[in-house]
Structure 1
């Protein structure tokens, strides 16, 4: 059996060598087609699939800003995050939402080890107490901050004596900043994740203690990504504008809502709009308008545009797949016409119709598989090499993107695209082959003359 397999492989590659131009065009055409289709599918899949740590993408809504202004339309704040008053008015006990969390957006911070002049720029995200329950981070060392550590952030500030500021950081030697950091940052600062737990660092020149280390999160995860996560209480929201100036309508809270099974995004939006109208009717100095609530796909693609991301990508796939495939199919069909004489000779020597068709199908299958493997490899190279350009949307500054095997190795996607190419190639091969073997030998040899 092993000898027979080797013999068949040698015969296959010998046949490919006899038709080098045809083979090269089919392999390259299939590879390029699969590569570009896979890149499109990968980008869409990476940005929308339920992948850790954002395992709830298909059932979440994001609040990403609300307009605030006086009732006469003056003194407009533009689209800003919610303050505590509006946040609780909109989302407390909201029907159809079974879990809620929030964050303060992504910002740059400076971190360094104590007594070190080596400062590093990191991406910092202030998060709610239940953040690490809502998302599925993998802790490689330590743990999330506790409720007590989260609440300690409220005592990190004191009333200032300076006239130009209201509050300042406490300087009594008690650490009130407890943070979680990424594995990459832990390696850079301490040499490893385990070594980082319990250690102190300076975050924006204020002492903080590391309580946990999570596996690196790629920046393609717009909401879950950061280098450092700190308790939202450390934003000192209660003592800062715009929260103070708008009586809590505008602040620093970006909500993430997980919808209950059977709940539609439209129903949640309608209830939030009803609560918005109720809040605005209370005669406050400021009113709110147009709270932005996006599904994950809306949040990721064409935000604020009335465009269906799924439809756009589907049309793009059709163009990228069908147009090259039709061209390759035409070439295969023309090449098959040139081999009608070969088919007639095989029939004359006793080859059965099934044997001839099977032989031609194996050739087509082989070139498609070779092109498919090359195309998949090329798509991975394109995604990794051009990650910042391909994923550079959504308000996150993308840099140093790391795409692990759990993102790149998606066999179902590859097999689906490969199957589509195989169907086109098979039809363009089998149809003329079937027509040829059912003609008389003399008719095939003379070309129907």
Structure 2
């Protein structure tokens, strides 16, 4: 019976090819627009390699410092000293890492190949919080990091351009003319992984990062990422961060630091702009309204077309009733017609959304924050796949189509046969 319903649905959709294709393309474009919007959020918010712990991570991307007893101050990033005393000392967190701002570095071989790469300075806990795929070797260890040994992890692109291969663990290269031993080689990282991205990673103890500080050594070039055992631990971690901040300030002679609502979750961190505390509820409301408009406007137009099509089929429904079709059979037929149309539109819309995302990659994901970096905004399957968003958009379009065509079909199934044939049901 189901096979018969689908065959009948195909026949009726082919009967009005123009209306059918307009409906399919309209629904597909609605789903495409929703999916592109969802993907632009998803690439920065969901757990995906290497930032597989976003959902249980807290971020301190900036801080402020002021003279004690005054109101005005300066905003910037923390020093290694601040990071170690205020965040690395946390006992309620699973792990804490300090990460420097990306900087350009000259990577070269003696009398050999050379290139400019994006480098960050970090510590051994970085490799616990973020999960990388190693092609050769391994991450530098806690002993390497604490001792400040000149060792580095490099990306596949850097390894290939310098050595011609990724199997280079244990070999030596120069970073700004300082020799570093290659601990490991990892797959290239997209710039969309904003906390983990780099092309070269070195221990901050192997450089002068600790000495790069000002304003009572409180400010520098570092940011912190805190990994919780569970998101349920966020309140306890924030409470301990505040305790450590007050203790740290008590030991400073003339200044005090504060974080303006941080540590942030991944969503708030994405929309934090220096001193401005992000209006998370306002951002969510704004994008909810955008999604609603993107769904409702085409859905209303498509529903009008479906309603018009069903009105023209009143006489057909009357004839089928005359030959013994029940009201349930008529309604099921309409359901399968709309299910088939929406499924076709959904597959087309999903394909269009992925195509649009790749074609508009630079427009969607390029910004002033990553414009000076050497990497690219490549997309991984984990960033693209959003089954729940797709099913929600598909279900909404199906519901609107069912309401616009199912209600007239249900009414026609209850009408007098003669009235239905003569289309006198309105």
Q: TM-score range by the shorter chain?
A: 0.7 to 0.9
2:65 maps to which residue?
A: 68
1:325 maps to which residue?
A: 299
Structure 1: runs of 5 or more not aligned: 154-175
Determine the C-alpha separation between the residues in 2 that align with 1:127 and 1:49: 23
2:103 maps to which residue?
A: 107
Q: Does 1:42 align with 2:43?
A: no
1:210-229 to 2 correspondences below 5 Å: 210-229=182-201
1:31-430 to 2 correspondences below 5 Å: 31-71=28-68, 73=70, 76-84=73-81, 86-94=82-90, 96-116=92-112, 119-153=114-148, 177-194=150-167, 196-242=168-214, 246-261=215-230, 263=232, 265-282=234-251, 284-290=253-259, 292-303=262-273, 304-308=277-281, 309-392=283-366, 395-397=369-371, 400-430=376-406
TM-score (norm 1): 0.83
Runs of 4+ in structure 1 displaced over 4 angstroms?
A: 7-14, 72-77
- Secondary structure of the structure 2 residue equivalent to 1:317: helix
Residue 76 of structure 1: how far off its partner (Å): 5.0
Which stretch has the larger CA shift, 99-108 or 397-406? Answer: 397-406
- Quickly say closer, same or farther: Cα 1:394–1:145, change in 2 above 3 A: farther
Residue 144 of structure 1: how far off its partner (Å): 0.7
- Quickly say closer, same or farther: Cα 1:184–1:126, change in 2 above 3 A: same
Tell me if the contact between 2:366 and 2:377 (Cα under 8 Å) persists in the aligned partners: no
TM-score (norm 2): 0.88
Residue 138 of structure 1: how far off its partner (Å): 1.5
Residue 302 of structure 1: how far off its partner (Å): 4.9
- Quickly say closer, same or farther: Cα 1:253–1:349, change in 2 above 3 A: same
- Secondary structure of the structure 1 residue equivalent to 2:43: helix
- Quickly say closer, same or farther: Cα 1:9–1:265, change in 2 above 3 A: closer
- Quickly say closer, same or farther: Cα 1:151–1:266, change in 2 above 3 A: closer
1:270-311 Cα offsets, whole Å, 9 max, x none, are 443344334334461333233542111101135432232433
Determine the C-alpha separation between the residues in 2 that align with 1:75 and 1:83: 23
Which stretch has the larger CA shift, 280-289 or 417-426? Answer: 280-289
Aligned pair count reads: 418
Determine the C-alpha separation between the residues in 2 that align with 1:130 and 1:95: 14
Tell me if the contact between 1:197 and 1:212 (Cα under 8 Å) persists in the aligned partners: yes
